[in-house]
Amino acid sequence: MYPMKFVPILKQTLWGGEKIIPFKHLPENLHHVGESWEVSGVRGNESVVSAGECKGMTLNALVRTYKGDLVGEANYKRFGDTFPLLIKFIDACQDLSIQVHPSDELAKKRHHSLGKTEMWYVVDAAEGAKLRSGFSRQITPKEYKERIHDSTITEVLQEYEIHKGDVFFLPAGRVHSIGAGAFIAEIQETSDITYRIYDFNRKDADGNLRELHTELAKDAIDYEVLDDYRTHYEPMKNEPVELVACPYFTTSLYDLTESISCDYSELDSFVIYICMEGACKIADNNGYELELSAGETVLIPAELQEISISPSPSVKLLETYV
């Protein structure tokens, strides 16, 4: 086992922007790339190892082969052969639909799947770009349905102008949407279940309105109202800053100008690094080394106990594990 990179799964979409290809320094001449799936065990969209002895293996094949050595013993008991996290970059040049995701309990009952709790880290944002997260005032399920019918649901959603480095935690049940000009990294449970609430009455390439999941969403929504849906943190250099800790993932930010060593001997989990800015060299306790630069993601198997990170000359990483 060694730190592994994967071939990105690029998704061209009607709403996709032009930021992902240059950000990841990819040679492809693709336009309107809305998503890059960095680490995925979703059936039909499985990441493939890009280098080393495991080159060509899918992520799910890795889990089946290496089990707890890859994901951690407790994680393997909890999730079996399903890799528990899905990592994406998302670049929107149009407002995306307003959505909600079901909880694990509801998703298991309805779809025999995990639910979806997720988080966003803003990689970059056009001037005036916004995200929606949560309700701005209390509404009832009845009012929700009425506002879907008369296209006024956005009037009761909380909207935030965003900037590079902003963080939002989105537990299952929280209504949300990504606005035009937002370029984000998304960390989420491995689930592709989304209930589309409102799509601004847009039509697809064939001139049809996209399906809405009004009834399914009504029972999945958490109608609680919070004062602030943003995640606030104090940036620091050369030490981890915890952004989110929940039952599904813990994510920290590393803003490094000095080399550090990370001791994972007491952590029964894989670790994923997502590079936001700059570059670094990563070495494991077995002497394996690789270079990581902006737009790249690497999976550190659970059996590796110590990782050193040497910035070149600076690097900003998200670290996440279960």
Do 257 and 225 lie in one domain? The reply is no
Q: Which long-range contacts (CB under 8 A, 24 or more apart) does 291-294 make?
A: 292/317, 293/25, 294/23, 294/24, 294/25
Read off the pLDDT of each residue in 93-111 and give the average, rounded to a whole number: 96
pTM: 0.96
Given this model, what pLDDT does residue 195 score? 97
CA distance 80 to 190: 13
Q: Is residue 3 part of a domain?
A: no
Do 154 and 257 lie in one domain? The reply is no
Read off the pLDDT of each residue in 198-218 and give the average, rounded to a whole number: 90
Given this model, what pLDDT does residue 192 score? 87
Mean pLDDT of the chain: 96
Do 197 and 304 lie in one domain? The reply is no
Q: Is residue 251 part of a domain?
A: yes
pLDDT bracket for residue 210 (50, 70, 90) = confident
pLDDT bracket for residue 202 (50, 70, 90) = confident
Do 56 and 137 lie in one domain? The reply is yes
Express each pLDDT in 231-263 by its tens digit.
Answer: 999 999 999 999 999 999 999 999 999 999 999
Read off the pLDDT of each residue in 306-313 and give the average, rounded to a whole number: 98
Range of the domain at 294: 241-321
Residue 175 pLDDT > 80, yes or no? yes
Express each pLDDT in 280-307 by its tens digit.
Answer: 999 999 999 999 999 999 999 999 999 9
Contact by Cβ (8 Å): 209, 195: no
Given this model, what pLDDT does residue 205 score? 76
CATH no. for residue 298?
Answer: 2.60.120.10
Name the domain boundary from 231, 264, 290.
231
Residue 207 pLDDT > 90, yes or no? no
Q: Is residue 48 part of a domain?
A: yes
Do 74 and 120 lie in one domain? The reply is yes
Q: Is residue 100 part of a domain?
A: yes
Do 71 and 218 lie in one domain? The reply is yes
Q: Is residue 111 part of a domain?
A: yes
The three state secondary structure string of 60-100 is HHHHHHHCHHHHCHHHHHHHCCCCCEEEEEEEECCCCCEEE
Express each pLDDT in 21-36 by its tens digit.
Answer: 999 999 989 999 999 9
Q: Is residue 290 part of a domain?
A: yes
Given this model, what pLDDT does residue 203 score? 81
Express each pLDDT in 58-89 by its tens digit.
Answer: 999 999 999 999 999 999 999 999 999 999 99
Q: Give me the half-sphere count of Cα atoms (radius 13 Å) on the Cβ side of residue 203.
A: 4
Name the domain boundary from 187, 203, 231.
231
Given this model, what pLDDT does residue 48 score? 98
Name the domain boundary from 231, 250, 270.
231
Of 221, 218, 189, the C-alpha closest to 104 is: 189
The total number of structural domains that make up the chain: 2
